Chain A
Amino acid sequence: MSIESREAIFNKVKEVIEQAMFVENKVFDLTSRIIDDLGAESMDIACIMMGLEDEFGGEVTQEEMATMVTVGDVVDYIYHRMDSTNQPALAVAEGIA
């Protein structure tokens, strides 16, 4: 499976965040801060983490999530994990179950 473009990843991340929390009527681009601009609370962050795992596979830890301030940070995180594994982002962490 080929590495996805940043644009394709952004579109998927946008869908994940829109499915995780209410972001209508808010500016949503790479510079949007997840907490300060989009208004995410801790429960929303947990939903975003689960959504990323569902969309891209594997596990996103709370420590990793804490380093992502903007939507662009999330896109970079996914992109670099794809780049480092040349695999669908996080699939190497999949369990047998």
Chain B
Amino acid sequence: MTTRRVVVTGMGVVSAIGHSVPSFWEHCLKGSTRVEPIPDAWRQYWSPRSHFWSPFALPDYKSHGFRNGDLAQYDPATLNALLATAEAIANARLDLPMLLGHNDAVTSHYSPHRAGVFMGTGIGGVSSFTENLANHTLSQCKSRLNALVLQLDDGRSELRAALLQELQGLVHGKRFNPFVVPRTMPNSIAASIGIRYHCKGPVETASVACASGTCAIGNAYRAIREGRIEMAIAGGSEYLDEPTGALFRGFDEANTLTTSTDADCCNQPFDQQRSGFLFSQGATGVLILEDYLSAVQRGAPLLAEITAYSESFDAHSLMAVRPDGVELARMLVKLLEDGGIQAEDIDYINAHGTGTPVNDEVESRVLEYVFSHRPWINSTKSLLGHSIGASGAVEAVVTVMAIAQQQLHASLNLQSPVRALNFVRDSIAAEIRLAVSQSAAFGGYNASLLFKRIE
């Protein structure tokens, strides 16, 4: 089998701390984060154990050329992926224009059948589904109840006011969107990129919860390495918005979220005081991967090389990493083997580092066991919280930036580390030749990428 070298030539990010790679990376190095109390309105629906989240200000899509028709058809997880893709393509200096309308005419460095799209997402367009479900179940019922309440005579004014107050809690969008199916489909993210950029190679969706982005990039890497395609748009996108807090509640009821009452240090990956992860409303990361020779031939910027991808499955629990960490360790050993290197060659690890008691305990034990020479370790989730299916892709962007810029961002809120590992405590300059970005997911799926400085 032909094997080819695979390089990263461009990247794009939409996140709570930056809507472009330069802005995002600047804020990473500054240690910026966005933590806010959950909306008070959510508390009328349940008593949350977790009190903070990382909300996500959506970009001004119209200023980027999107029309009302686009906003109707695409969930924000898709819109953000299209924006990040546009940035990544521009940074890669690829001649691959976004298509508008029904137009097949396109110039490109690559034949459409040699260009693929690989996107990861945990829950796809779930926000669109919940929004339309609420409209479907509540809108007419609420109208009828309103009419009945208004028929109550003046002697029942207190009851009328109380009922009207309760009716305010039945929140729904103003219409049932006829595009609810394509907005909700998890594969809409990859498909929309494929349609807009006329990629006719594999257009795949990876949905393995928190490892989705890493898995998607890994699959893209393999497709190029094996010579099936020459270029791939790969990454992950997630957007979890629901006006009553139901999506947040799902993670809250599962005891996965931080229970800290201190906004300044509620997000504490790898700290002994950690109590759970910080729920992120969303993020998107996209990378352009190319066959090395093709990229060099067209004079593309070479940011880093991907030299291995490895995965494993715990076969243990839908919601918790296997306590002995054996499959996580096996995945890393295989990654090193596939990359043809030794553990001590690794300079930096962008850890999964969620901040849950069980993940950080197991992950840190595995890292201590596999990497006895103590490479640098940080958790990008200490800045962003956990953006589920996007997290691995955003962390891949961070890992590539760390290699390209020879800089590392700090792992925030680390007062008492769970283990004596070499955690990055402040943003630093560091010589990084080889780095690992790894993810572990609900369901028991583990995935890791090996990145190398361009040589």
Contact = CB atoms under 8 A, between A and B. Distances in A.
B372 interface: no
Contacts of B172: 97
Interface string B144-188: 001100000000000000000000000010110111000000000
Interface in B192-236: none
A96 B146 contact: yes
A21 B68 CA distance: 8
A46 B102 contact: no
Contacts of B72: 20, 46-47, 50
Nearest to B144: A96
Contacts, number: 57
A50 B143 contact: no
Interface in A23-67: 23-24, 39, 41, 43-44, 46-47, 49-51, 53-54
Nearest to A50: B72
Contacts of A19: 67-69
Interface string B116-150: 00000000000000000000001110110011000
Contacts of A24: 100-101
Contact of B100 (A20, A22, A39, A97): A22
A16 B72 CA distance: 13
B73 A96 contact: no
Instruction: Pick the most buried of A16, A43, A47, A54: most chain B CB atoms within 10 A of its CB.
Output: A47
Nearest to A62: B178
Contacts of B139: 95, 97
B73 A43 contact: yes
A18 interface: yes
Interface string A67-97: 0000000000000000000000000000111
B68 A97 contact: no
B418 to A, nearest CB: 49
B175 A50 contact: yes
A53 B73 CA distance: 16
Nearest to B173: A97
Is the interface on chain B under 10, 10 to 19, 20 to 34, or 35 or more residues? 20 to 34
B102 A41 contact: yes
B134 to A, nearest CB: 10
By CB atoms of chain B within 10 A, which of A20, A23, A53, A97 has the most? A97
B143 A46 contact: no
A47 B146 contact: no
B170 to A, nearest CB: 9
B101 A22 contact: yes
Contact of B102 (A16, A39, A50, A97): A39
Contact of B142 (A49, A54, A96): A96
B179 A46 contact: yes
Contacts of B103: 22
Contacts of A23: 101
A64 to B, nearest CB: 15
A46 B68 contact: no
A96 B143 contact: yes
A21 B142 contact: no
Contacts of A22: 67, 100-103
B142 A97 contact: yes
Contacts of A39: 101-102
A39 B143 CA distance: 38
A44 B69 contact: yes
Contacts of B140: 95
Contacts of A47: 68-69, 72-73
B195 to A, nearest CB: 11
B143 A97 contact: yes
A93 to B, nearest CB: 12
A21 B69 contact: yes
Nearest to B172: A97
A50 B180 CA distance: 13
A56 B432 CA distance: 59
Interface of A: 16, 18-24, 39, 41, 43-44, 46-47, 49-51, 53-54, 95-97
27 contacts: A19-B68, A19-B69, A20-B67, A21-B67, A21-B69, A21-B101, A22-B101, A22-B102, A22-B103, A23-B101, A43-B73, A44-B69, A46-B72, A46-B178, A47-B68, A47-B69, A47-B73, A50-B68, A50-B72, A50-B175, A50-B178, A53-B175, A95-B140, A95-B143, A97-B139, A97-B172, A97-B174
Q: Which 4 A-B pairs have the closest CB atoms?
A: A22-B101, A47-B69, A19-B68, A20-B69
Interface of B: 67-69, 72-73, 100-103, 138-140, 142-143, 146-147, 172, 174-175, 177-179
Given A24-B101, A95-B140, A97-B138, 4 more contacts: A20-B72, A22-B67, A95-B139, A96-B142
